[in-house]
Chains A and B, each alone.
Chain A
Amino acid sequence: GEDVEQSLFLSVREGDSSVINCTYTDSSSTYLYWYKQEPGAGLQLLTYIFSNMDMKQDQRLTVLLNKKDKHLSLRIADTQTGDSAIYFCAERGNTGNQFYFGTGTSLTVIP
């Protein structure tokens, strides 16, 4: 199956920007997604990007897609303590039926 990789941990100071990176293998992916998971909760859809786009901005969130390198990133501006969570990137498989998730990046925001 498809392989989605993320670094496991990231720490930033409150007010700084966070950048969470993801690489994937399926070049036929049409959509790529970012989800946030807080402790004991489900996954909350943050944003998604169509593969023919390079960038998408939504308030404090900026998604960058380098399709050539199969690299996706999520930038959180002015990171707050409430942003501490696990962030998953996901790609939709070529059958369209399932999402392939990375192992998640645990973001810790230091006050």
Chain B
Amino acid sequence: NAGVMQNPRHLVRRRGQEARLRCSPMKGHSHVYWYRQLPEEGLKFMVYLQKENIIDESGMPKERFSAEFPKEGPSILRIQQVVRGDSAAYFCASSRAGSNQPQHFGDGTRLSIL
């Protein structure tokens, strides 16, 4: 009974490169959420997606960041032209439909920018 799967666990990029982070939700979960955790801080919401739709992207930076959750395959968080300040742990969570459903988290992708 696999949980939320994120890959890669660690990602190193040089400034200006692109980073792609993947998330496969738990079986039966149709809602995906992305959060960012800076060192010694709590998690900050970035975006909420359902299949083929972005529902709430109020936490996403306006530039360089994008997210998708296609009909087939994992959800992707894409960061273009990365900068040092993008270094963080990025967590994906998934839930079933319904306002009372808890979110279940993956182990995160730790992004380091050289």
Binding site for B on A (CB under 8 A): 4, 30-31, 33, 35, 40-45, 48, 50, 88, 92, 95-104
What separation, in Å, do the CA atoms of A97 and B58 have in the docked complex?
A: 10
What is the total of A-B residue contacts with beta carbons within 8 Å? Answer: 58
What separation, in Å, do the CA atoms of A101 and B91 have in the docked complex?
A: 13
In the complex, B107 has a CB within 8 A of chain A? yes
What separation, in Å, do the CA atoms of A92 and B44 have in the docked complex?
A: 13
What separation, in Å, do the CA atoms of A44 and B106 have in the docked complex?
A: 9
Contacts A35-B105, A101-B35 known; list 11 others, CB within 8 Å: A30-B100, A31-B102, A41-B107, A42-B106, A44-B105, A45-B103, A45-B104, A96-B99, A97-B56, A98-B59, A99-B103
With contacts A30-B99, A33-B102, A43-B91 known, is A98 near B107, CB below 8 A?
no
In the complex, B41 has a CB within 8 A of chain A? yes
* Contact partners of B105 in chain A: CB under 8 A: 35, 42-45
The chain B residue sitting closest to A33, CB to CB, is B102
The chain B residue sitting closest to A43, CB to CB, is B105
The chain B residue sitting closest to A106, CB to CB, is B40
B 69-114 contacts with A by CB, 8 A? 91, 93, 99-100, 102-108
* Contact partners of A45 in chain B: CB under 8 A: 102-105
In the complex, B28 has a CB within 8 A of chain A? no
Could you list some 21 contacts between A and B, CB below 8 A? A31-B100, A31-B102, A40-B107, A42-B6, A42-B105, A43-B91, A43-B105, A45-B102, A45-B104, A50-B100, A95-B56, A97-B48, A97-B55, A97-B56, A98-B45, A98-B58, A98-B59, A101-B42, A101-B43, A103-B42, A104-B42
Distance in Å from the Cβ of A94 to the closest Cβ of chain B?
Answer: 10
Distance in Å from the Cβ of A69 to the closest Cβ of chain B?
Answer: 21
The chain B residue sitting closest to A8, CB to CB, is B40
The chain B residue sitting closest to A93, CB to CB, is B45
What separation, in Å, do the CA atoms of A40 and B110 have in the docked complex?
A: 9
In the complex, B19 has a CB within 8 A of chain A? no
